[in-house]
Amino acid sequence: MTKTVIKKDGRKEPFIKEKIVVSAVKSGVPVETARKIAEKIESHPSESIKTQWIRKQVSDELEFHNPEWVQKFLSYDKNIKRLSKYKR
């Protein structure tokens, strides 16, 4: 069954693990590490997961691998969210 992501505003969309990979890689994470993190998130048993939970899990994994990646990831994530407000 396909996983669903529940956005902060309540919208639902399909889980796309490549979104995690891309954001992690753009934060300086090697591709293989980014893929492992995304696979770990995807393996969560729940069919629906909240974006806040995903962000926390990715941050925790990045912290474990390299603490410098966390700030870059959070900064990238924040900037993308800010940009998406203007695209609508």
Total number of domains constituting the chain: 1
Confidence of residue 78 (pLDDT cuts 50, 70, 90): confident
Whether the per-residue pLDDT at 75 is higher than 80: the answer is: yes
pLDDT in tens, 29-44: 999 999 999 999 999 9
pLDDT in tens, 43-61: 999 999 999 999 999 999 9
Host domain of residue 63:
4-87
* CA gap 58, 25 in Å, rounded: 12
Q: Using alpha carbons, list the distances in angstroms from residue 41 to 31, 84, 86.
A: 15, 23, 29
